[in-house]
A and B are shown apart, each in its own frame.
Chain A
Amino acid sequence: MTAEPVVENSPRGAPASAPRRIDIPFVIRGRCVKVDGATRDLPHAGASRLVTPRLTREIATELLEEHSLVDVRLQEIVGFVRRVGVQWANDEYARRRLYIRQLRDVVGFSEQMAVAEADLIASALMGMQRLYDTLEVELGSHRILDEWVPRGECEVRAYPRGLFVHLLPGNVPLAAVISLLRSLLTKNATVLKVPARDPVTATSLALSFLDADPSHPVSRALSVLYWPNDDPLGAELVASANGVCVWGGHEALGWAQRTAGTEAEIVRFGPKQSLSVVEIGAADDAARVARGVAHDVCMYDQQACFSTSRVFVVGDRERFVERLAEELQHYDRILPPGRRDLDDEAHVSGVRLHHDVMGSAVRKADNWTIIECGPEDADVHPGARTVFVHPLRALRDLERWVDATTQTVAVHPWERSAEVRDLLARRGVSRIVETGLSGILRVGSVHDGVDPATRFVRLVAVEAGSARHSKGMAIPIDTTEMVEDRQFRDLIL
């Protein structure tokens, strides 16, 4: 008898002929709303049947009730978020293990990608220093969320906008974490609409807040649910929100723009592409550069807006491509791709065939493709770890191939980035990073050209009274006297 499981206590189920049903609950302000009664099937391409509750008038009313974290000190919010993160950091945490399984089985991530995602969630929630620093950088002071902070001749305080509805993307789970943190740290009542493609990330996140303490103000400020795009109650929620954060394509952005209230703050993270530019000289370690590029390609399987889809190479392109092929194969082992359906495979095959016929150099393996061609020939990108490699005469020539749809440009050698950053920035690029670091998101960075925290708050200023002189004024301000005596020019300078 070998060391294998033999007999179990309970009867086995019959071989399933129907797709397996997975219930995705709502989380409504600290309360788990189980799938019961009226339900809805999510439009889902995978093998499982995903079932959620339905958004009801009752739930919508509850979500629209006045509720924010304005009276909760930031340290309390950050402390609780960290407590949730400590849970996620423990690989014996049941919620984490379930999330990894569901990310794998429902969303189609590989086991390694799913574990990496859980680790990212843990580090994002636990990074107290980073959370404070981000607010400090983006708002000028993290204290501005709790108290009036001197600024010039005023005291300024940041208030939450109120109810912020987030329309999440389905391609990058980390977006749910980022949106949630931005919203809660700025003390907004937060509603996350889960995407049908990945309903598990935001839901698991919210449930983990309940696992820590469902009665905590932060848990009670957070809701996660699904509604279809044509749901009138969902539209009503968006229309009533004080802020809408929308991630997605042009259709999603347009819908949010049309639906949101006229006074609502709309934060948009639309479709972007990203690329890398590398210069490979005789002394360059092509393998190390290729490793960084491979990471930027493979993390999130090119689904993220910061994922590299094409590489411009100055210098020894052949040596670089050789090394890139090796590194993509290495990543195939350490971070296998997620599940690809027949359409994905067909798309990749089609692009490969097209470029074969066009005479491009095509290298490929089961899970990646490198196509060497001119940049004008790379008009269709199938994703799936496909890397277009283009020749470039000089780094500065990249200017022609970037525009406002380009989010991140990864550069090697990093010391040369200063030569190109102005021209890239003028063309609309919003992030310039070193190769291998596309997914890091440093403190102080911007997201599609903005400091996100500033968009989630409403700044209020209390200006100094008349007894306080402005710089350059020697007497108190009497505005009527100034008008009568036409003293503005002399006194207000």
Chain B
Amino acid sequence: MRWGCALTTYHPASWSHQEVFARSLEFARVAEALGFADVWLFEHHFTEYGLCPNALMMAAYILGHTQRIRAGTAVIVAPFEHPIRLAEQIAMVDQLSNGRMMPGFGRGVFAKDFETFGVDSTRSHAMMREWIDIQIAAWTHESVSWKSDLIQFEDVSVKPETFSKPYPPIYVVAESGSTIEFAASRGIPVIMIIRKPLDRMRASIELYADVAISHGHDPSRIRHAIATPTHVADTHESAVAEIVDSVTEWHEAGGRSAFTTEQLRTLPNYRFQWSQFQDAILGGARSARDIVKQALSVAPVGSPQECIAKIEELREVTGVDHFILGFEGSKQRENIIASMTRFAEEVAPKLEVETEPPGSVRRPAHEQQQQLTVNAAR
């Protein structure tokens, strides 16, 4: 098992902006001390849903204040940046952190962002995919030129080189079938958001595996991740009670900034998100609170025993054993740290924890993967 910790930089009314960032750092340090393998930063703009407009910068900040824990982005919204600048900056953070950087990419779902930055939202998926390919090319070649209907440049040599070889481990937040297929074709692990029912995530994993195999990758060697709210308390009822209101507020904040249902209905490349909305309605959800409660019913939220059972079920259904845990649901500093601590002490040990001794430097995952023997039959 591999445990990660999400740092949302959500801004509740009771915290100042400075407190949001100070606590994010504090939570990262607590996570490192407790033996978590990684922390994850999110990019958002113009919204209290997340105060961090630059996940890579935030990752660098966290990495600079820690020794061992790795930092991933979930996500860098790729279409908002030039891919060569991304390649440079990620390589730099990878160097500065001695290989602790894990860049994760997405294509964005917030309307205001696309409007403000002048990016065509109908091409966001194509841009994300191509930007990833460009970065990989830039990190693995002395010089790269590119010509497509999205971007062109000639003879660029990205510096510095990456610390991690051949390059830092990439992730893609992928829930739509086409993005899953893209990631699978490249052998890039995906990050999924926990959903009810869990069987739906199984379909994504199975599609990924089928495509990966057809492209010569061994899916059993590709480690996906699931992001999930997490809260450990004495009982399920108290755990839910402690977080449902603030998680709902957070979800509603996101909803105010995301594409409207009318936009989702008409955007040709957001059909998955549109289907999520349709299914929520057909499944009886009438509010953000309904959707949050559905997610909390399958998330590791509850007593330690319940959290163990939920994670075991997640692993059983999806095969995933890397979890990005969102502990900030209560939006109370002490409560968050207490929940993280209880998880590390009462939940993780029962689930074959993969911990890093403080002070050690972990070999990048892809280096380990390259040494594994691939079974071509599965």
Contacts and interface: CB of A to CB of B under 8 A. Distances in A.
A82 interface: yes
B272 A1 contact: no
Contacts of B213: 13, 20
Interface string B360-378: 0000001001101011111
Nearest to B137: A6
A11 B369 contact: yes
Would you call the interface of chain A mostly helix, strand, loop, or mixed? Answer: loop
A8 to B, nearest CB: 4
A83 interface: yes
B148 A3 contact: yes
A7 B166 contact: yes
Contact of B218 (A10, A79, A93, A207): A10
Given A6-B136, A10-B369, 10 more contacts: A1-B141, A9-B170, A9-B366, A14-B376, A79-B282, A86-B282, A94-B180, A94-B207, A101-B214, A102-B210
B216 A12 contact: yes
B186 A18 contact: no
B217 A86 contact: no
Contacts of A86: 275, 278-279, 282
Interface in A10-52: 10-21, 32
A465 interface: no
A92 B376 contact: no
Contacts of B185: 5, 8
A424 interface: no
Contacts of A3: 130, 133, 146-148
Contact of B377 (A16, A83, A207, A214): A16
Which size class do A's interface residues fall under?
A: 35 or more
Interface of B: 130, 133, 136-137, 140-141, 144-148, 166-167, 169-170, 176-178, 180-181, 185-189, 197, 199-200, 202-204, 206-207, 210-218, 221-222, 271-272, 274-275, 278-279, 282-283, 317, 366, 369-370, 372, 374-378
Contact of B282 (A5, A9, A82, A208): A82
Closest 9 A/B residue pairs (Cβ): A10-B187, A8-B187, A92-B272, A12-B216, A210-B199, A90-B275, A97-B177, A95-B203, A94-B203
A2 interface: yes
A220 to B, nearest CB: 13
A10 B366 contact: yes
Contacts of A12: 187, 215-217, 374
Given A6-B136, A18-B376, A101-B210, A13 B202 contact: no
Contact of B137 (A1, A10, A16): A1
A10 B221 contact: yes
B299 to A, nearest CB: 17
A11 B212 CA distance: 11
Nearest to A79: B282
Contacts of B271: 90-92
A20 B216 CA distance: 11
A414 B171 CA distance: 59
A211 B204 CA distance: 10
A87 interface: yes
Nearest to B152: A3
B294 to A, nearest CB: 10
Given A5-B133, A98-B210, A207-B203, A13 B218 contact: yes
B221 A93 contact: no
Contacts of A83: 279, 282-283
A20 B133 CA distance: 28
A136 interface: no
Contacts of B377: 16, 18-21
